[in-house]
Structure 1
Amino acid sequence: MFIYDYSKNVLKTFKINDLNFMACLSVYVDRVRELPPYDKSDFMIGFEIDEQLLPGFGMFSTDVLVFIGKESPFIQGQLQRIVWQKIKSKYFPSGMEGKYFKDSEYSKGDSYKYETGDLQYFAQDLVKNNSVFARRLLVMDRRTKNKVYEAVYTRDLAPFGRQWTGRLFKNKPKVIFGFEYISFGCESIELLKSSEEAIRIHCDNRH
Structure 2
Amino acid sequence: MGLKFRKYFLSKEKISEAANVFIYDYSKDVLKTFKINDLNFMACLSIYENSEPPPYDKSDFMIGFEVDEQLLSSSFVFIGKESPFVQGQLQRIVWQKIKSKYFPSNMEGKYFKDSEYSKGDSYKYETGDLQYFAQDLVKDNRVFARRLLVMDRRTKNKVYEAVYSGSLAPFDHQWTGRLFKNKPKVIFGFEYISFGCDSITFLESSEEAIHIDCDNRH
- TM-score higher than 0.5: yes
Unaligned runs of 5+ in 2: 1-20
Distance 2:158 2:47 in 1: 47
Partner of residue 144 from structure 2, selected from 133, 146, 158:
133
Identity %, equivalent residues: 82
Distance 2:204 2:167 in 1: 24
Cα displacement string for residues 64-101 of structure 1 (whole angstroms, at most 9, x for unaligned residues): 11000000000001000000000111110012234345
The farther-off stretch of 100-109 and 113-122 is 100-109
Equivalent position of 2:63 in the other structure: 45
Partner of residue 28 from structure 1, selected from 25, 30, 48:
48
Amino acid at match of 2:31: L
Partner of residue 186 from structure 2, selected from 152, 164, 175:
175
- Alpha-carbon contact 1:135-1:153 (below 8 Å) kept: yes
Amino acid at match of 1:95: N
TM-score (norm 2): 0.85
Q: Pick the structure with more helix per residue.
A: 2
Amino acid at match of 1:5: D
TM-score (norm 1): 0.90
Give the superposition deviation at 1:27. Answer: 2.7
Equivalent position of 1:54 in the other structure: none
Distance 2:112 2:46 in 1: 41
Distance 1:117 1:186 in 2: 30
Partner of residue 62 from structure 1, selected from 73, 81, 105:
73
- CA distance 1:23–1:101, change in 2 (3 Å): farther
Task: State how 1:3-18 maps to structure 2 within 5 Å.
Answer: 3-18=23-38
Distance 2:29 2:59 in 1: 33
Amino acid at match of 1:16: I
Distance 2:114 2:135 in 1: 13
- CA distance 1:177–1:63, change in 2 (3 Å): same
Distance 2:73 2:131 in 1: 26
- CA distance 1:18–1:113, change in 2 (3 Å): same
Distance 1:198 1:110 in 2: 28
The farther-off stretch of 91-100 and 122-131 is 91-100
Equivalent position of 2:100 in the other structure: 89
Secondary structure of 2:168's counterpart equals: coil
Unaligned runs of 5+ in 1: 52-56
Secondary structure of 2:27's counterpart equals: coil
- Alpha-carbon contact 1:185-1:202 (below 8 Å) kept: no
